[in-house]
Amino acid sequence: MENRSKKIKIQLPDCILSQIYSKLGLKDLVKTSALSKLWRHEWQLRKHLNFDRHDMFDHKKVKGLPKTFALLQGFQSEYVTRLDQFMLHYQGDMIDSIRVNCPLSYEHSDVIGRLISKGIAKGAKRIELLLSYQNSFCLDLKPFEFSFDILSGTDTLTYLHLQNCYLKPPMEFSGLKNLRTLVLQLVDVTQNWLEGLLSNCIYLVNFTLDTCEINSDLKIIGPTLFRLKIINCCVKITDEKNIHIIASNLSSIEYSCNGVSVHTMNIEAHMLSKFSFRGWKIYEPVGFSGLKNVTTIVIDGVREILHPTNIVSLLFSECLQLEDVTFKNCKGIDDTNITSPNLRHLKIIDCGSTQRIDINALNLASFEYSGHTRRNISVTAPMLSRVFWNAANRVKDPHPFGPITIGQSRVAVGPKIEIAVWCIAAFLLFKYVCVTVSDALCIAKIGHNLYRCSHNLDLNMR
């Protein structure tokens, strides 16, 4: 029949099919084999293997991790069985990436080992093993054992993320020559182990230690290292450790510590331009001598009290290249005088109850302040064009700003934020004085005009 619909055969290149399959979960991927004879084996050509626990089971049956140890063991057994069966029938010639996201332990080392071996043999460039537990009853389980010997001789791997693994010390290990990014999370780290690993990663650019147990002093040496993160670590008060960083091309460091104590740090990185720090103390354990060329810095949560000066004054006196500075949640900072010829952006967010802040910055372009307003802020900044004041914490006190010097005139606020101030005033009138929107805007407009007239009269009198 002429009106009979004709079958249209569409053959897509393997690279397009692989891209489509990479967007599907594993169980949905296998189901595609029932849709067409042409697709019966095509799913086996997928190059990005994502074994996420949410995609391995029916969402209606598994909404979260099991809540008892016995159920968890059954969950793990079913997961590794499905993974092993998938790899047994996998016929692809190339694997680009492997991602395993499921709480597994040392009992499943053989299955994961076979997966990694097959991936390395087929040229895998990215491997992620996300094996952390979330339940309290899982804390006593022995973590998955990862041996770097399985990666010996591989030059294709560029990204490696290991989470909640016991890392066996590499014995005469040679590999990872082209590794660019290394993320270690929830693992125990010692100097001997780290030294052997980093000596093989001769092109390492990004290195992260996240929530790791640092059991010895560390010396991190990386001539190609560009970004370093040591985050969410914890230091025992009676067992403080030192971290020595030697990296000639290092551009940024992010450090955060949970608890009262922090690591002492020696930084030898003359190219360092960005430094982020979260902890209770910074000057005594870290100091600013290794931050001479830093242009961007974030200091969060510092509660260090020094006399007769303070952290802020020491920072600007020793780090003369600073352009972008943020203080967050810092306590115990006395009256502060900030003087910097290069400073362009300054943020002071929720920093205690300092009574006075004097800012003298010739090139300051933006200033953001958030927190309690029981203080006086005086600003001398000829280039200042943007001021943000978060009044969320304001109760009865007026705005904290004293005179802001801009060019040759002294005004209460910068000229580019006058309209914003009066818009806020209109909103406050509407919300708290219970006037109509039109009346609030009218009152704000009259106030703005009166302000401009008084300001012009004041300039003429001068």
Question: What does the pLDDT look like over 407-456, one tens digit per residue?
Answer: 543 333 444 444 555 555 555 555 555 556 565 556 555 555 555 554 44
Residue pair 302/279 in contact by the 8 Å Cβ criterion: yes
Give the Cα separation of 185 and 410 in Å (integer). 53
Q: Is the pLDDT of residue 214 over 80?
A: yes
Cα separation values, 333 from 83, 393, 424, Å: 55, 19, 30
**Average pLDDT over every residue of 349-369:** 85
Amino acid letter, 430:
F
Cα separation values, 285 from 159, 259, 261, Å: 32, 14, 9
Q: Where exactly are the structural domains of the chain?
A: 14-281, 295-393
Residue 324 confidence (pLDDT)? 98
Output helix, strand, coil percentages for the chain, rounded to the nearest 5: 30, 25, 45
**Average pLDDT over every residue of 254-263:** 91
Amino acid letter, 164:
N
Q: Is the pLDDT of residue 86 over 70?
A: yes
Residue 397 confidence (pLDDT)? 53
Q: Is the pLDDT of residue 23 over 80?
A: no
Q: Is the pLDDT of residue 459 over 70?
A: no
* Angle of helix 418-428 versus helix 437-461 axis, rounded to 10: 140
Residue pair 286/307 in contact by the 8 Å Cβ criterion: no
H/E stretch holding 243 reads strand 242-246
pLDDT band at 319 (very low <50, low <70, confident <90, very high): very high
The tokens for 233 are: 């670590």
- The SS3 of residue 362 is coil
Bigger pLDDT: 95 vs 23: 95
pLDDT band at 90 (very low <50, low <70, confident <90, very high): confident
